[in-house]
Amino acid sequence: MSDENAPEQKVKFYQKGTYTVGNRLVNVRQRSVQASMDRSNSLTCGHRACQGCGEALGARYAIDAAMRATNNQLIAINATGCLEVFTTPYPETSWQIPWMHSLFGNAAAVAAGVAAAMRVKGLKQVRTIAQGGDGGTMDIGFGCLSGMFERNDDVLYICYDNEAYMNTGVQRSSATPVAARTATTPAMGANPGNSFNSGKNLPLIAMAHNIPYVATASVAALHDLEAKVTRAMSLHGARYLHIHVPCPLGWGSAPHDTIQVARLAIKSGLFPLIEAEHGMVTATVPIRQPVPVTDYLKLQKRFAHLLRGGEENARKLAAIQTIADNNIKRFNLVRKEAPRV
């Protein structure tokens, strides 16, 4: 029923398992890379990430998909951060691909160099990925990244956004959401947590570089994530993928809730799933079963102070709801259409 050569199934299928990782009832080609027995497991067992680490999960999802898309011809350059530290405590490595680490802030520049080297050596089929956390990408590595975009170097840069500097103990970054408690924005005083009107939106900044491809993805939307990696690898030039990866330690969420938390970020509108080419939005993923932002916030201790009642908190919650509502408006996220995730 589900052999490799069967025609693409157009039927609106899936009462059962529609959104699951695999589905024995659809063609092998239409199942996710993660469903296949021969996925490359680019990031294998024995790494030292926390229980339920969203970054470890997101990295395997993304790199396995890139391996499939490039026929396993892939080199990854890693910025300093959890992903680097928990995978490569000397002399062990969890990477089953060529992988290199240089510094915290220079992954984009190193990757641009690797891509140039491959070109010079005539290894056109070997593709380059750079990856790092939100701190390494959006703050300290931002100059190198913007340069890589602006030069249109042939690199896919993947940012694993866990919304703070996790590896050094949860310090605030420019990706930390408003009101969130971190080690440097404690839940104390008149304005507990991260201040309002701070931070930046890197996917939109990347789009402003008019590069060939920019997208956001989430560990709670595997099929969408894989489709975006695949699309990115089908293009050349500078590409940017921003993946939302919950961090149980830094967010104060239960390890078993990692995917649920990421899912609620999508369902509440706080993390829109979008895709853009050459600066223009080409697709967004409509929300299935929308929820209020509190559904998302209440699973995370970093927002606990917000949920203790009082007028001030109500005002702040309303402000966060407005952020979500604006995302929904901006990208038309609640609409009548069969959603992909």
Partner 1 sequence: MYKPFAITLDVGSSLVNHTGSWRTERPVFVHRLPPCNAACPAGENIQGWLYHAEEGNYHLAWQEIMKENPLPAIMGRCCYHSCERACNRTRLDETVGIHAVERFLGDQAIQHGWSVTKAPPAHCGKVLIVGSGPAGLSAAYHLLRLGHEVEIREAAAKPGGLLRYGIPRYRLPRKVLDAEIDRIIQMGAVLRLSTPVTDLLEVIREGNFQATFVALGAQKSRWVDLPNDGSIPISDAIQMLRSLEDEIAPSRLQGKRVAVYGGGNVAVDAARSAIRLGAAEVTILYRRSREKMPAHSFEVKEAVEEAVQLKCLRTVEGIQQGQLVLEERVLTDGNEPLPTGRREFMAADLLILALGQEVDTDCCLAELPEINLLAGNLQVDATMMTGRDGLYAGGDMVPSERNITVAVGHGKLAARHIDARLRGTTYTPPATAKPATFERLNTWYFADAPSTHQPVLSLIRRQSGFEEVLGDLDESNALFEARRCLSCGNCFECDNCYGACPDNAIAKLGPGRGFAIKYDYCKGCGLCIAECPCGAIEAVPEEI
Binding site for partner 1 (CB under 8 A): 1, 13-25, 31-32, 34-35, 37, 41, 43-49, 51-54, 56-57, 60-61, 87, 90-94, 96, 222, 248, 254-260, 263, 289
Please state the closest distance from residue 101 (CB atom) to partner 1, in A.
Answer: 13
Let me know: does 182 contact 170? Beta carbons within 8 Å: yes
Instruction: Tell me the C-alpha to C-alpha distance, in Å, between residue 271 and each of 53, 64, 147, 190, 256.
Output: 18, 23, 26, 28, 20
- 286 binds, options ligand TPP, partner 1, Mg ion, none, Cβ within 5 to 8 A by partner type: none
DSSP 8-state code for residue 168: T
Q: Which of residues 106-135 bind Mg ion (CB under 5 A)?
A: 133-134
Single-letter amino acid code for the residue at 77: I
Q: For the chain, what is the radius of gyration of the CA atoms?
A: 20
Residues paired with 274 in a beta bridge: 284
From the list 16-24, 40-48, 81-89, 295-303, the region that binds ligand TPP by CB under 6 A is 81-89
- Among 263, 270, 271, smallest CA distance to 288 is for 263
Locus of tokens 């929904």:
328
Contacting Mg ion within 180-199 (CB under 5 A): none
Does residue 177 belong to the site contacting ligand TPP (CB under 6 A)?
Answer: no
- Is 217 within 8 Å of 241 (Cβ atoms)? yes
226 is an interface residue for Mg ion by CB under 5 A:
no
Partner whose binding site includes residue 83, from Mg ion, partner 1, ligand TPP, none (CB under 5 to 8 Å by kind): ligand TPP
Considering the rule CB under 6 A, would residue 55 count as an interface residue with ligand TPP? yes
Query: Which residue lies nearer to partner 1 by CB, 19 or 142?
Result: 19
Based on the shown chain and the rule CB under 6 A, indicate whether residue 135 belongs to the binding site for ligand TPP.
Answer: yes
Specify whether the CB–CB gap between 295 and 245 falls below 8 A: no
Q: Which is nearer to partner 1, 136 or 248 (CB)?
A: 248
Taking CB atoms, the residue at the shortest distance from ligand TPP is: 133
Asked if 192 interacts with ligand TPP (CB under 6 A), we say no
Segment interacting with ligand TPP, rule: CB under 6 A, options 39-47, 131-139, 150-158, 268-276 = 131-139
The answer to whether 245 and 216 are in contact (CB under 8 A) is no
Of the candidates 149, 152, 165, which has an alpha carbon nearest to the alpha carbon of residue 202? 149
Cβ atoms of 213 and 189 closer than 8 Å: no
Strands 280-284 and 274-277: antiparallel
Q: Which is nearer to ligand TPP, 168 or 201 (CB)?
A: 168
Give min distance, CB of 311 to ligand TPP, in A: 34
CA–CA distance, 94 with 236 (Å, rounded to integer):
28
- Residue 159 or 293 with smaller CB distance to ligand TPP: 159
104 is a site residue for ligand TPP (CB under 6 A): yes
- The residues of the shown chain that bind Mg ion, judged by CB under 5 A, are 133-134, 162, 166
